[in-house]
Structure 1
Amino acid sequence: MVIKFFSQTTGFIYCILALFVIIVLWKKGLMSRKIRSVFLFASVLSGFLFFSPVAPYQFQTVFLRNLSSHGSPAVFVVFGLLFIAIVSFVIGRIFCGNICPVGALQEIISAVPVKKRGKYLKKYYVFIRFFVFIAFLVLAVLFSISLIGILGIKDFFTLNMLSISFYVFLIFVILSFFIYRPFCRFICPYGLFLSLLAIKSRYKFRRTDLCIDCRKCETVCPVDEAKAGDNKSECYMCGRCVDVCPVKGALVYSSEFKKE
């Protein structure tokens, strides 16, 4: 139990430190593809070593009223989820994009040069995720059934290959080669919650007066959230838009809206 608690705590400490460092790097304009890759691999490693901070699973335990199922005190779990939610409301979905082991694993796989499908169907993705969220609530609250457990997040990251659920999540991993972040965009109930908060987040990727409207950011964005007027609710802070922007300072991570 002590080791289990220590592991969960270590993962949460990593989450806090990583959030702080990534925010500073983006604000200072120092973030790069290599640095993002370091955080992504560190996040995935955290998932396999500590099974933390795997927020979708922890979010599920709240509705199952089984907060201690993974060895951490209930107050610790609730505080962690609230902390991530508040931070996401201010800075956007940095947690989903770079720190959650589930999202980080899919992000790494998405870099494989295979043509992705369904980029321009984000409205349908949101609709499907709302439907899944309702099913998630009904199953958890009325029947004490863990949808996230059935889908195999814990079995996958704990390498429980004897469980059928391990292979259920493995399907999502394989789909990540062809669809950008399928679990995040179709299933994740906590991600849906954070996406609603991100709509009003203070810090986002914003165009400045230096923007030349070349639309390269729109072309490369894997979730179709780089257009003028997009609310960035589905922006996973992957940084592809900044990478391809031909004018330095035309697209920045900022709290000030300058041009749309």
Structure 2
Amino acid sequence: MDKIQVLRKISQIFFFIYFIFLTSFCLCFFGLIEKFILKGSLGDLAIKLAIFIILTLLFGRVFCGWMCPLGFLFELSYKLRLKISKKRKLPTINEKIHNKLLYFKYVVLVLSLILTYYLSTYAFCQICPIGFLTNLYGTVISLMILITFLIISFFDPMAFCRYFCPLGAFLSIFSIKPLFQLKTNEKCVKCRLCEFKCPMQIKITEKIDQKECIRCFECKSACRKNAISFKIPLK
């Protein structure tokens, strides 16, 4: 494991402990958006929301790959399968189905906000998979969803993050063209080792979809040619 992956694991473990055990603040700041709809203001929490948005505008979906406890759990699930099966290539689903499912998280985002407004309740928080662990608004349904997606992620890496997470959809909007971008360079030989390791099933050797990339840098770690960089594009 290279240095960047070591740092990422430390970050994931830290934030997992912080959100689950050391604070009652909802780990998913999507709850802050629902709170704004319900109460019309965020108060001091507005600063936290602004920080997350600025981070996303600068670096892309770093929250998803470095801080989100749900992403951490789902990553452990699919890596457990890799360890058991001893496969080096991540499983993928049909490309046409995958490309269509990517938009479903935006449907979840819009529906969650609409239901929050009309039902005057934290619509998504009550079914959020991590809600059961944080003991905030979690229900038995949230526990069932967590277990279901842990099982699904065992076979289809990061399925919740790819297709269902409204927070991922929200962050994607600010990640369409972040300041720092993941790019391939002239050293790339199209071997696709990076794609074999990408848990988000991104066609890295063709065009990196910045809004879907969670900045896990598994691709960069897998590349043997140092053909992937993370920097401000010059052009």
TM-score range for the pair, normalised by the shorter chain length: 0.7 to 0.9
Q: Deviations over 1:92-116 (max 9, x none)?
A: 1111111122222222323212564
Give the partner amino acid of 2:105: R
Match of 2:119 in 1: 143
Going from structure 1 to structure 2, the CA distance change for 1:101 and 1:133 (only over 3 Å counts) comes to same
Match of 2:86 in 1: none
CA RMSD of aligned residues (A): 2.7
**What is the CA-CA distance between 1:166 and the residue it aligns to?**
2.6
Give the partner amino acid of 1:89: L
Identity of aligned residues (%): 24
Match of 1:78 in 2: 46
- Give yes or no for the alignment of 1:245 onto 2:223: yes
Instruction: Please state whether the residue corresponding to 1:149 is helix, strand or coil.
Output: coil
Q: Which of 181, 185, 195 is equivalent to 1:208?
A: 185
Instruction: Please state whether the residue corresponding to 2:44 is helix, strand or coil.
Output: helix
2 CA distance for matches of 1:198 and 1:206? 14
**What is the CA-CA distance between 1:233 and the residue it aligns to?**
1.0
**What is the CA-CA distance between 1:187 and the residue it aligns to?**
2.6
Q: Deviations over 1:44-65 (max 9, x none)?
A: 2122112444323333322333
Match of 1:178 in 2: 155
Going from structure 1 to structure 2, the CA distance change for 1:206 and 1:194 (only over 3 Å counts) comes to same
Unaligned 5+ segments in structure 1 are 1-29, 68-73
1 CA distance for matches of 2:196 and 2:138? 39
2 CA distance for matches of 1:155 and 1:148? 10
Going from structure 1 to structure 2, the CA distance change for 1:148 and 1:162 (only over 3 Å counts) comes to closer
Going from structure 1 to structure 2, the CA distance change for 1:33 and 1:138 (only over 3 Å counts) comes to same
1 CA distance for matches of 2:9 and 2:188? 27
Task: Tell me the matched-pair count.
Answer: 222
**What is the CA-CA distance between 1:194 and the residue it aligns to?**
1.0
Match of 1:198 in 2: 175
1 CA distance for matches of 2:24 and 2:149? 18
Q: Which of 58, 68, 75 is equivalent to 2:32?
A: 58
- Give yes or no for the alignment of 1:102 onto 2:70: yes
Instruction: Please state whether the residue corresponding to 1:177 is helix, strand or coil.
Output: helix
Instruction: Please state whether the residue corresponding to 2:183 is helix, strand or coil.
Output: strand
2 CA distance for matches of 1:58 and 1:127? 23
Whether the 8 Å CA contact 1:216–1:241 is kept in 2: the answer is yes
Whether the 8 Å CA contact 1:161–1:167 is kept in 2: the answer is no
- Give yes or no for the alignment of 1:43 onto 2:15: yes
Match of 2:134 in 1: 157
Q: Which has the higher contact order (CA 8 A, sep 6+)?
A: 2
- Give yes or no for the alignment of 1:223 onto 2:195: no
**What is the CA-CA distance between 1:160 and the residue it aligns to?**
9.1
Whether the 8 Å CA contact 1:156–1:169 is kept in 2: the answer is no
- Give yes or no for the alignment of 1:93 onto 2:68: no
